[in-house]
Amino acid sequence: MFMADAVILLFICAGFAFSVYRPLLYALYILDNLMFATRIARTTYLNRIAESRADIAPTISMGITMDHAVSMTVPALGGLLWAAYGYRAVFLAASLLSVAGFLAALAVKERGKVAAAGEVPLPPAYLG
């Protein structure tokens, strides 16, 4: 889900940067708003990997706090980028961030995967 989220966001941001076709822009806007539903998938994933149910609420709270911090700083930086280089630069930067998110998603370990040579294995609670 993390990887799909990043790929979809890449196409949304690239579409905003390069498209001038209004119906496509409208569709991208709607899809972008629907992406907020991925929070449900993240919470579901957290429920599956949490070692203790007591860890879930603090983890979600920290995630919301980090989301808030980012949502307060990124628009200011985006505004500076927009003023200096135009709106396309903002959406291209967001596309690059989604690529970084995709690469980070590749680092998330799946349950039941055996660690490769040289990797630290996951604790038994993660292996089901």
What is the rounded CA–CA span in Å between residue 60 and residue 57?
5
115 assigned to some structural domain: no
- For 11-59, write each residue's pLDDT tens digit: 999 999 999 999 999 999 999 988 877 777 777 877 887 888 888 888 8
Residue range(s) defining the domain that contains residue 58: 2-107+122-127
Helical H segments across the chain, by residue range: 2-18, 22-34, 38-49, 56-85, 87-106
Q: Which residues contact 113 (CB under 8 A, 6 or more apart)?
A: 122
41 assigned to some structural domain: yes
Instruction: State how many domains the chain has.
Output: 1
The pLDDT of residue 56 is 85
116 assigned to some structural domain: no
Q: Which two tokens stand for residue 33?
A: 């708003």
